[in-house]
Amino acid sequence: MADTVDLASDVSYADVVRDEHWSLIRLVTRSEPPNPYEYPRSDIGLTMYLRQCGIEHFCGREVSHVERPSALDARLAVELPRSSGTPDEPLLLPARVAWPRLACVLHIAESLRAIAGPLEVLHWWRPGAYNAAVSNANEKPGSDHVTASAVDIMARDGSRLDAAVEAVIDPIWLADRTDMVRGISIGHRRGSLKIHVGVWAPATRAKGAPRRWSYDPATGAEVAYR
């Protein structure tokens, strides 16, 4: 499916079925993925959808939380006419065609959580100007968040997150290049409380191989994984 689809507006279910993420959910859960269009486009509807995908510890309101509402209001009032939430608590909730993408990355997050303990999703979808307003100035162009293909996650214990990365991410990285592995993107610095997890983001698809990077502790800039 084209990555340029307008995520502010819903499209057809056929576009969901053509998305790689839909196929990966079927591979991971060994069952037919739920149709996101059978759920209301709301934080509650997204939570119900995630539960049917086997996601137990993350909810729609958490993943669609807006870190800086002022940037959203100023830059996306026209771009997101169907955004959810209230003026006091707006939500960035993309079209339902993007929901299988979230389910894929949260399957990895669930595995990390089993070792790292409670995790909080900081960012999921960050469209257009909003992404430019809140992302690190050193972030490379083509952010995985623009197409809702990744989440940024915060842990409570850096050492436990390191252990989770070693137990969950490292074996995936060294495994045969299955569809899931070829499409994965991981950004994490040892000792940090944060990790970026993406599946089949546009930059990964363009590379045709998985992507992994660390972060400079002083500037936050992406650096080569070692």
Do 43 and 61 form a contact (C-beta atoms < 8 A)?
yes
pLDDT of residue 19: 63
Mean pLDDT across the chain: 78
Provide the pLDDT confidence category of residue 2 given band limits of 50, 70 and 90.
very low
Q: Which residue has the higher pLDDT, 161 or 5?
A: 161
- The answer, as to whether pTM is greater than 0.75, is yes
| Number of alpha carbons in the 13 Å side-chain half-sphere of residue 168 | 21
d(CA 166, CA 133): 33
pLDDT digits (tens, 9 = 90+) for 140-181: 556 888 889 999 999 999 999 999 999 988 877 766 555 556
d(CA 169, CA 165): 5
What is the crossing angle of helices 43-52 and 99-116, to 10°? 70
CA angle 100, 102, 106 (to 5 degrees): 120
Residue with tokens 């045709």: 208
pLDDT of residue 178: 54
Greatest alpha-carbon pair distance for the chain in Å reads: 47
6, 123, 127 from 223: Cα distances, Å: 31, 20, 24
